[in-house]
Amino acid sequence: MADALSFTFVADDGSEVPSTQDLRNGLQKGSDEVKIDTLKKIINATLNGNPQPALLMPVIQYCMPSKDKRLKKLLHFYWEVCPKYEDNGKLKQEMILVVNAIRNDLQHPNEYIRGATLRSLQKLKEPELIEPLIPICRSCLEHRHSYVRKNAVFTIYSIYKEFESLIPDAPELIQTFLAAESDMTCKRNAFVFLANCSMPRAVEYLLSVYEQIPSLDELMQLAFIELIRKDCLGETPNRPKYIRCVFELLNASSHSVKYEAATTLTSLTQNPAAIKAAASCFVDLVVKESDNNVKLIVLDRLEALRAKHEHVLDSLVMDLLRVLGAPDMEVRRKCLSIALAMVTSRNVEDVVGTLKKQLIKTLEADYDKSLEYRQLLIQSIHICAIKFSEVAASVVHALMEFLGDSNNPSAVDVIAFVREVVEKFPNLRASITEKLLQTFGDIKSGKVFRGALWITGEYCAEAADIQAAMQALRKVIGEIPILAAEQRLADDAGAGEEGSEEKKPSSSHPRVLADGTYATESAYTSKVDKKDATKPPLRGKYEMSKSDSLILGGDFYTGSVVASTLVKLVLRLSQISKDTKAVNALRAEAMLIMTSIIRVGQSKFAAVPIDEDSQERVMNCITTLANLDTSGKTKAPEDETVDEIFLKDTKAAYAKMVATEEKKAAEKKEKENKTSAVQVDDLLTFRQFSKKNAADGIDYEQDVTRATGSAEVQEDLVSNLSRVVQLTGFSDPVYAEAYVKIHGFDILLDVLVVNQTANTLQNLCLEFATLGDLKLVERPATHTLAPHSFHSIKATIKAFFQVSSTETGVIFGNIIWEQGTSETCVVLSDIHIDIMDYIKPSYCTESQFRSMWTEFEWENRVNVNTTITDLRAYLSHIMKSTNMACLTPEAALSGDCDFLSANMYARSLFGEDALANLSIEKMEDTGTIQGHVRIRSKTQGIALSLGDKITLAQKELAAAA
């Protein structure tokens, strides 16, 4: 808790630093406001490598006497960073005045000045400055105000940790202080001191107040948990007492204490009861905590616990589902992903029942994000039903009520679920198809209609089912032929319009609406709306969205699916029925429906004329039925081929697709559970041979992760060498090269500098600047290089650049050094940050891809210009060049064809989405590939960068050829 001390950083506004004389005048002649501004500039210059040693005395002379609190605070910052030693290594004489000033502040009557001075004293690392102040620091432990005492404890802690010889009796002193102290914050600081510097004394104090721990302050409880965790790294006889103590703290009122207690308990013991208690505590925290970030963190911890202890936590799945009451969608999504992994045959019915209740709640209009949540619940129920067949029957009928949902993605998910259930569970086919036919009239989406029609055509196997399907189709299509019916309706509407114009009154009467406003109503408009509302669902135009318009709205793809379904029904009836008259009647009606679809598509009543592909598809279906032989004689080979295409191949293709998806899911699970391998020459650590020091102890959890290698990313040497960038030439006085390493959001430059001259280079400094969305965090220090020596600045210079976006960035700079009385400079080569270091392949659903494709406004189109002649090879080349994953299923890409279209998706470390669509074709005459790649993203930079990457990859391929 107190292992790492904090340091003060002051922001630099980037303005030019004034001269030393200007700064001196500001300190000497300015007011307190001017002195504050001047001192800030001096601190910034010192942090940036320009220490201004000549200004130390003016600062002491003109700033220390001031009583301004802000100036006094800045002085504390200045004492931290100012140069305190002469060139010969001796302490500067002026620092005696500084020590005297600090002593006066430590004895100041204002307790807050004392406390602030004690805090700043923790950051000083010079024993010559600290030693004269130790008696006063000890006396501050007895000050009347707790603010002074608590800072005095940590000041003594920092001194003891750095210079133990200056205050050797610190543990005894703090132990005595802890026994007499009454303020909880001071006691907590003192206990932290003992826990880090004198473990036996800390354990002794914990055992002395063991029975009081549940009633103590939150800070003390957290400190006790930290001590327990450290003490248990080695062998201790107090482990049973510690486990009992942590168990009691699971019921603490503080959420932070409960979280730390549960986390510690899982590391102390692997007992199933303890693991279940810790998990129950995590669930309780997620339910009661209001901060969504905390909820997600705790859920991540719960997921890790569940993965480590499979089936131990399965009984808590119903408690976990209480988290679904949270309003945040990310929390709900995370909760459901964990809950689905905990579902077993024992609790699946309860889980599905809870999910169905949540699904009903989403029908309420005021439910927050109900549409997105409804889709998530439907997908979760889908997974449960496919995994556990015993609940499929009860779930599928309930979900089919949502086929008429106005939210298209939810209804599409439902029909996909129904299709998979009807394929996997043959005993449910009859009841599902019967229920599906009843819901035909409620369906509003063309995509849902197509799924329902496919199920009807494939799984209506009995004569009665086929007649019922035809009856349902008649209702949703309406009067046949469609063109004549639409023409009659148009004529009736025209006559009604003429009559309404004759009877139109000169003034309309206003109506008072529910909110108190006035509105007028047109009788003709009401009449037309009523007419449109009575149109059959499959024929009418539902203006919900362009994707949901039906046959009259231009969706003739759905019309072609209707034609295919009719052919399947007629062919199947001809096989199972000997009633030739009934088969011929059904065939004639089906051909009439298909003909009317083509006719209305060529008329003025369709919003969009029928496309060539759909018309050809429907015409092929008409031809198939026209050539159908219903005489009962032996079928010709071509008739058997037609039967096989319509009645067997499509169902077999879907069964193959389902099997492929199951295989992919199994491979993914196997890959996630695969044990990580480690290198044969990795270091082995034996706890028995290590020092008996708690601070150096090795956690059991770390042992396991190190042994399995799951916590480490192995890098090969070739990959590392490819990241080395040459910064200067071989003939330059100083040779430099940098190894560029990516650390999440940061870029670490490990620079090797070689002095190629016979002279000593003094005050050698690397200066970096950035272009683009890069930010230099820390400026490297200066160094001195001996003749023909080299210096690796990995350990001392950390040049991090904070990246805020994946847009292209450039790092440039120079090397400056002093040789004698002259200063020399060598300009470094530019370092270009590769966007591929931040782009990772990712996956999303088809609906998510389409939604993002519509939403994103930046698009970059790259024309294909390549020597590759194989379509699949070019797709693989683009995926490798852009680090993108292909979303198009393997089944859709298989086979021989002269054109290819695929969707790709990737996500950056910063949460930016990158979408791409590849559309290419192979020219028959030349054999070359033509087409384009369209890239879309939310920001311009990522779209342009990926486009440049594709163009560069194509040029490199052409040059290699």
pLDDT tens digit sequence for 755-794 = 998 888 888 888 887 776 666 666 677 788 888 888 876 5
More confident site: 12 or 369: 369
Whole-number pLDDT of residue 840:
85
More confident site: 372 or 683: 372
CA distance 804 to 746: 10
Q: Is 725 helix (H, G, I), strand (E, B) or coil?
A: strand
pLDDT band at 713 (very low <50, low <70, confident <90, very high): very low
CA distance 124 to 134: 13
CA distance 761 to 783: 8
Residues 800, 765 contacting (CB under 8 angstroms): no
pLDDT tens digit sequence for 548-585 = 457 777 788 888 888 899 988 888 888 888 888 888 88
Residue 541, pLDDT above cutoff 80: no
Residue with tokens 């034609």: 563
Q: Are strands 734-743 and 783-785 parallel, antiparallel or unpaired?
A: unpaired
* Joined tokens for residue 526: 């009401």
CA distance 189 to 867: 70
CA distance 841 to 876: 13
Average pLDDT over residues 220-249: 88
Whole-number pLDDT of residue 367:
56
* Joined tokens for residue 775: 């930010």
CA distance 144 to 123: 24
- Going 898 to 903 to 909 to 913, the CA torsion angle's sign is positive
- Going 857 to 862 to 863 to 866, the CA torsion angle's sign is negative
Residues 602, 610 contacting (CB under 8 angstroms): yes
Among residues 174, 86, 73, 74, which one has the least CA distance to residue 128?
86
CA distance 50 to 47: 7
* Joined tokens for residue 30: 């300015």
Residue 526, pLDDT above cutoff 60: no
CA distances from 545 to 109, 212, 440, 480, 779 (A): 74, 65, 20, 26, 56
Residue 44, pLDDT above cutoff 80: yes
More confident site: 416 or 517: 416
pLDDT tens digit sequence for 265-309 = 988 888 889 899 999 999 999 998 888 888 999 999 999 888 888
Residue 49, pLDDT above cutoff 80: no
Which residues, 6+ apart, have CB-to-CB distance to 511 below 8 Å? 518, 519, 520, 521
- Stated as kind and residue range, the H or E segment containing 228 is helix 218-231
Residues 727, 738 contacting (CB under 8 angstroms): yes
Mean pLDDT, rounded, of the chain: 80
CA distance 907 to 915: 9
CA distance 729 to 621: 73
CA distance 274 to 312: 10
* Joined tokens for residue 506: 């000169």
Residue type, 762: Q
N-term to C-term CA, the chain: 60
Whole-number pLDDT of residue 159:
92
More confident site: 685 or 945: 945
Residue 742, pLDDT above cutoff 80: no
CA distance 175 to 939: 59
Which residues, 6+ apart, have CB-to-CB distance to 590 below 8 Å? 566, 567, 569, 570, 625
Residues 80, 120 contacting (CB under 8 angstroms): yes
Omega before residue 481 within 30° of 0, cis: yes
CA 208 to chain centre: 47
Whole-number pLDDT of residue 805:
47
Whole-number pLDDT of residue 915:
93
CA distance 342 to 164: 53
Whole-number pLDDT of residue 193:
92
Residues 811, 831 contacting (CB under 8 angstroms): yes
Residue 649: strand pairing partners: none
Residue with tokens 């499979």: 310
Whole-number pLDDT of residue 897:
82
Average pLDDT over residues 99-115: 89
pLDDT band at 324 (very low <50, low <70, confident <90, very high): confident
Lowest mean pLDDT of 66-75, 686-695, 875-884, 915-924, name the range.
Answer: 686-695
Residue with tokens 């059991």: 700
Among residues 667, 570, 647, which one has the least CA distance to residue 890?
667
CA distance 741 to 47: 25
Whole-number pLDDT of residue 3:
44
- Stated as kind and residue range, the H or E segment containing 474 is helix 463-477
Lowest mean pLDDT of 115-124, 665-674, 850-859, 912-921, name the range.
Answer: 665-674
pLDDT band at 682 (very low <50, low <70, confident <90, very high): low
Whole-number pLDDT of residue 542:
40
Residues 93, 57 contacting (CB under 8 angstroms): no
Average pLDDT over residues 538-548: 48
Residues 384, 396 contacting (CB under 8 angstroms): no
Residue 698, pLDDT above cutoff 60: no
Whole-number pLDDT of residue 476:
83
Neighbour-count burial of 714, counting CB atoms closer than 10 A to its CB (0-12 exposed, 13-18 middle, 19+ buried): exposed
* Joined tokens for residue 297: 């963190």
Residue type, 285: L
Q: How many CA atoms lie within 13 A of 573 on its CB side?
A: 27
Full 3-state SS string of 546-612: HHHCCHHHCCHHHHHHHHHHHHHHHHHHHHHCCCHHHHHHHHHHHHHHHHHHHHHHCCCCCCCCCCH
CA distance 802 to 778: 10
Q: Is 344 helix (H, G, I), strand (E, B) or coil?
A: coil
Residue 899: strand pairing partners: 921
Whole-number pLDDT of residue 545:
39
Q: Is 779 helix (H, G, I), strand (E, B) or coil?
A: coil
Residues 537, 558 contacting (CB under 8 angstroms): no
Whole-number pLDDT of residue 580:
85
